[in-house]
Homo-oligomer: A and B are copies of this chain.
Amino acid sequence: MAQKPSIPKGTRDFGPSEMYGRNYIFNTIRSVFQKYGYQCIETPSIENLSTLLGKYGDEGDKLLFKILNSGDAFAKVEPSALANSNALSLKVCEKGLRYDLTVPFARFVVQHQNEISFPFKRYQIQPVWRADRPQKGRYREFYQCDADVVGSRSLLSEMELVQIVDDVFAEFGIRVCIKINNRKILYGLAEVCGAPDKMIDITVAIDKIDKIGLDNVKAELFEKGLSSEAVAVIEPVLTLEGSNAEKIEKIRAILKESETGLKGVEELESLFNLIDKAGIGQKVEIDLSLARGLNYYTGAIFEVKALDFEIGSICGGGRYDDLTGIFGLPGLSGVGISFGADRIYDVLGGLDLFPKENTGSTRVLFTNMGEKEVAWLIPVASLLRKNGISCEIYPESRKLRNQFEYADRKGIPFLAIVGENEVAEGAVTLKNLATGEQKMLKPDELINALNY
């Protein structure tokens, strides 16, 4: 009995129409990246576990997919090793699947530092794998679309990433709000609270404000050991109102005792000055409740939310000061963003924004009415393709109804009927399947009729 086929939980098959939408997303993002001089690289799906372990926290380590060593992996393992499963899994697995694109990129930069001219602007669009519990919108294999600049501390790079976000979502027709904050401000805030060692606790707590609300964030801060005075300092900052310039002035006043905090305010102000010059079309706002989970960020942080569709952030990123240090190349500052292709797909679908025209499908199907007719039309089909028109010949001489149905289900807009008459005339009958309109055309007329 044949096995019933299935795929692992959390993975997906993509059929033609999903791939059309996905490729539209990847191609749009790629072409914007390229317009700003970012260059494509690719790294292997499989990395040494030593490259991956310890880079994503304890939780991340558990979510790595580990690959069994090839050959007889267990041959040299002593039976006593079974007592400790973790130790055993490390003994029989030396490789794992890529968990994100950032750590492999840092590894790439260090490994190829002599071939790279800095500042290095690279983009990378590849899948990553996480052994997370699958749920709606969370997959075990998904694509990331990242752009990063490393080797410069210039805020022009931050501005450029905001421009890229602006261009990408303008291309998609998605209205967004680009939220910006700065990690140094968050650190300054911890400092003026008298709890500089609690920056991570504070950051983690305020990152939740959208999800759990102000009161619960305050409760969490108390729980982490912050005093009422400290929480009182933080509270107005989280609910700051006004224009970006007004927000900057208010926060500057609150942080006046923190050198790092003021540096953050200054960076934010300079970035907004640059953004003003760049003429960004989308809404850009300072959001001091924006923290982002990953702790390697040290300067600007970004997050993008769709305005007309309810979903989590669809793009995010920030500046990090020492990502390559762990691989032996300290002091290289970088800034990057990552577009969430799966969520963007949902937004485009939900708002009906996928392009309707030129969906990459076949333009015309030649009917197959028998050997003689097909022999005549083979060169006509070749001629169309030479002129860039995608076409098919129905492979079997079946009832015309079946051939119609095939065109219909595949969304092919035109049928080129070639029967005895047409061969005699040296022409085809072109039928527009949407309007029903049909006319007899010579091959060169056919090219004109079918060109976009």
CB contact between A111 and one of B13, B39, B89, B385 (< 8 Å): that residue: B13
Q: Which residues does chain B contribute within 8 Å of A107, judged by CB atoms?
A: 5, 7
* B39 with A361: CB separation less than 8 A: yes
CB contact between A82 and one of B6, B19, B77 (< 8 Å): that residue: B77
A35 at the interface (CB under 8 A from B): yes
Q: Which residues does chain B contribute within 8 Å of A153, judged by CB atoms?
A: 396
Q: Which residues does chain B contribute within 8 Å of A121, judged by CB atoms?
A: 392
* B396 with A154: CB separation less than 8 A: yes
Q: Which residues does chain B contribute within 8 Å of A119, judged by CB atoms?
A: 395-396, 406
* B67 with A89: CB separation less than 8 A: no
Q: Measured between C-beta atoms, what is the minimum distance from A387 to chain B in Å? A: 10
| Closest B residue to A363 using CB positions | B37
A308 at the interface (CB under 8 A from B): no
Q: Which residues does chain B contribute within 8 Å of A239, judged by CB atoms?
A: none
C-alpha spacing A34/B44, complex, angstroms: 28
- Chain A: residues with Cβ within 8 Å of the partner, total of 114
CB contact between A274 and one of B14, B95, B378 (< 8 Å): that residue: B378
* A16 with B122: CB separation less than 8 A: yes
Contact with B along A248-277 (1 / 0, CB 8 A): 000000000000000000000000001001
Q: Which residues does chain B contribute within 8 Å of A108, judged by CB atoms?
A: 13
Known: A35-B388, A107-B5. A88 touches B115 (CB 8 A): no
* B392 with A37: CB separation less than 8 A: yes
Contact with B along A131-170 (1 / 0, CB 8 A): 1000000001100000001001110110110010001000
Q: Measured between C-beta atoms, what is the minimum distance from A320 to chain B in Å? A: 16
Q: Which residues does chain B contribute within 8 Å of A19, judged by CB atoms?
A: 39-42
* A7 with B393: CB separation less than 8 A: no
* B40 with A278: CB separation less than 8 A: no
